[in-house]
Amino acid sequence: MSRETLPYMTNEQFQSVAFVYRTKKGCIKVANLLEAENYDKNPELEFLASLDSHRWIECLLRSSQKQQREQIRTILK
């Protein structure tokens, strides 16, 4: 996917999208928008979530430990 295919996104939004994948061995991988296309083609990877990484990190850091665990579990389901 190229920058031109998402003209409605600001440069900041485009750079902050993170795509979360899990390998068949259970390892977590995170890709940016440009790498995600290759990750999607890989049968060894399972797509889990797409996130606005900056906002998600901020939300996570402002949460209690219990809420943090819940938020992470939600993504890794």
Would the pLDDT of 12 be above 80? no
Please give the pLDDT value at position 3: 53
Q: Cα 40 vs. chain centroid, distance in angstroms?
A: 13
Question: What CA–CA distance (Å, rounded) separates 26 from 14?
Answer: 27
User: Quick one: CA torsion of 30, 33, 39, 40, rounded to 10 degrees?
Assistant: 120
Question: What CA–CA distance (Å, rounded) separates 35 from 11?
Answer: 16
The pTM score is 0.76
pLDDT tens by residue, 17-63: 899 999 999 999 999 888 888 998 999 999 998 888 888 889 999 99
What's the rounded mean pLDDT across residues 2-28?
79
